[in-house]
């Protein structure tokens, strides 16, 4: 037998083995590394049609969504509504407080525009009653502050 034929066959076998090793390593180790997302903007819609801006942090294995103000939000699977999250026993659970502050803030901006005022800083929200799983939504109270200045128009 010709030595070149044997060498070519051995070379093919070696290439196949190397490819098999790389493919096996890729399939074995790729699930260990998540595809990280840091602050990607998403638009979420409540069952009543209100749009909520959220930002995703984490990867495909562990992730969370935050509001523009930095509050963690979660889907209440029973009601279908997006609610602020509470941490209970190291697990995020719905608080019962539906995310709808955007509607109030929009009305405040409309009022500011009608009165020739412009925003002069970030929107701040302070909870006067902290949500718990037992708190009724109608019992929750918060303050929303928008610093403003006279407009130039």
The reported pTM is 0.51
The answer to whether 54 touches 64, Cβ cutoff 8 Å, is no
Segment 12-70, tens digit of pLDDT: 888 998 888 888 877 776 656 667 778 889 999 888 777 888 999 988 778 899 988 78
Which range is least confidently modeled, 4-18, 46-60, 92-106? 92-106
Of 42, 38, 43, 35, nearest to 60 by C-alpha is 35
On the question of pLDDT at 153 being above 70, the answer is no
Domain definitions of the chain by residue range: 3-32, 37-150
Please give the pLDDT value at position 75. 93
Residues 6+ apart with CB under 8 A from 92: 64, 72, 74, 85, 86
């Amino acid at each position: 037998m010709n030595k070149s034929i044997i060498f070519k066959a051995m070379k093919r076998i070696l290439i196949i083995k190397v490819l098999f090793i790389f493919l096996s390593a890729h399939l074995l180790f790729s699930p260990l590394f998540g595809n990280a997302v840091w602050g990607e903007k998403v638009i979420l819609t409540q069952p009543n049609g209100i749009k909520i801006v959220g930002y995703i942090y984490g990867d495909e294995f562990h992730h969370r969504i935050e509001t523009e103000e930095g509050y963690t939000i979660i889907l209440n699977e029973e009601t279908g509504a997006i609610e602020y999250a509470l941490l209970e026993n190291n697990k995020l659970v719905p608080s019962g407080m539906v995310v709808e502050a955007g509607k109030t803030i929009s009305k405040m901006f409309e009022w500011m525009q009608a009165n020739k005022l412009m925003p002069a800083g970030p929107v701040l929200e302070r909870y006067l009653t902290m949500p718990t799983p037992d708190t009724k939504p109608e019992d929750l109270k918060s303050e929303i502050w928008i610093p403003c200045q006279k407009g130039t128009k």
